[in-house]
Structure 1
Amino acid sequence: MRAVAGLWRWRHNPLRRTTDLVEAWVALTAAVLLCLAVPLAGWAAGASANASLQQSVRAQQRERVPTVARVVRSADPAGERSAELAGEQRLRPAVVADWTAPDGSRRTGTVTTSREHARPGDMFPLYTDRTGRAVTPPMAAGTARAHALIAGLTVALLVALLIETARRTVVHRLVQRRYARLDRAWAQVGPDWGRTGTGS
């Protein structure tokens, strides 16, 4: 709105300089771009990311098979854990478990479980690929949408930052040009300042 007011103010003002008019047009252009280009860029990036992520979600849901695993034993004795590994395993303990592969064969391996305390014989959900190898669960559709939303917002912010940086750069150069013209004008008038009409 200030850009429109600036354009109106400079339309018929006798003190208007060319740089004033250019600055007002730059401000108006930046305002229009901020209102139109930023949301459009954010929406386009978010929609593209969402389409790609939803395709990945569908592919993961086709390729990953849910099954149930049974804890055989802890993956390592408590005495052999490093401090870092122990901290990580407090959140997702590693256990040796067995499960049934999609082809019906029995598999055994070391996997992590979300259970805080996993004792031998405990059952927990597990995802495998088509060959029976343990894999992470497929991404949820809601998680994919959240990632796409973050991508869209990030692109929108970057485009807004780019527009504002360009506007500030142009305005800075216009101000430098004004100062340069003022310096040149002062250099021509300055030596005779105060001696007008003395005949010198």
Structure 2
Amino acid sequence: MRAIVGLWRWRNNPLRRGTDLVEAWLGLIALVAVVVAVPVIGVSVTHVTRDALLASVHKEHEARHAVTATVLRKVASPPVDPDPETSSARDAHSRVLARWTAPDRTDHYGIVLSSLKSPDEGDHFRLWTDERGQVVGRPLDGATATTHAVLAGLGAAAAATALIEGTRRLVLWRMVRARYARLDRAWEKAGPDWGRTGTGS
């Protein structure tokens, strides 16, 4: 808005310098770029990222399988942390020795993290494995992928806004430096004789 006001103000002003008009046009161009280009960039990045993440979700769901594991015995309790803000999601799990059957029908045993708060022998819990029964992480779901895509779009939009504003400020800074350089040169021409005897001042 300030750029439009600046253009209108300098329209017929006799004190207008060429750089004043350039500065006002630069502000207007930056404003239009932020209003038009930034949303397009944000939406485009969101769509591209979402498509890539959903393809990854599809591959993960094909490669990872939820199996039912049986607790054989508890190995260790989660560490006690007096500060709840520093505890991680891993702390809420119990380490147990468990048995599970892989999708390829082979039996597996191992120490894994269980989501059970107080696991006892014979308790069942869900575990994610690959085709051969190796424990893997839970696959990404569609809602999480969409959330990550939206955050990526917002980040891209913020970066584009910062780039546009940074470019505008850099150009203005160079214009101001050039303006001061011209003023210094004019001062060097006229300034040395000011106040001297016999110069008519």
- Name the TM-score, length of structure 2 as normaliser: 0.86
1:139/1:69 Cα in 2 relative to 1: closer, same or farther (>3 Å)? same
Pairing 1:17-166 to 2, within 5 Å after superposition: 17-76=17-76, 90-166=91-167
Return 5+ residue gaps in structure 1 as ranges.
none
TM-superposition CA deviations, 1:94-137 (whole Å, max 9, x none): 21111111122322112111222112111111122111222222
TM-superposition CA deviations, 1:60-99 (whole Å, max 9, x none): 11111222111011235x6xx9889xx7764222211111
Q: Partners in 2 of 1:177 and 1:14 — Cα distance?
A: 21
Identify which of structures 1 and 2 has the higher relative contact order when contacts are C-alpha pairs closer than 8 Å and 6+ apart: 1
* Cα contact 1:90–1:116 (8 A) shared by 2: no
Q: Partners in 1 of 2:50 and 2:164 — Cα distance?
A: 25
Q: Partners in 2 of 1:123 and 1:83 — Cα distance?
A: 24
Return 5+ residue gaps in structure 2 as ranges.
82-86
1:199/1:139 Cα in 2 relative to 1: closer, same or farther (>3 Å)? closer
Count of matched residue pairs = 194
* Cα contact 2:79–2:91 (8 A) shared by 1: no
- Name the TM-score, length of structure 1 as normaliser: 0.86
1:70/1:128 Cα in 2 relative to 1: closer, same or farther (>3 Å)? same
Q: Partners in 1 of 2:64 and 2:189 — Cα distance?
A: 81
Query: Residue type matched to 1:92 in 2?
Result: H
CA RMSD, Structure 1 to Structure 2 (Å): 2.5
* Cα contact 2:47–2:149 (8 A) shared by 1: yes
Displacement of 1:162 in angstroms is 0.8
Percent sequence identity over matched residues?
46
Query: Residue type matched to 1:98 in 2?
Result: R
Moved more, 181-190 or 24-33: 181-190
Query: Residue type matched to 1:104 in 2?
Result: R
* Cα contact 2:64–2:128 (8 A) shared by 1: yes
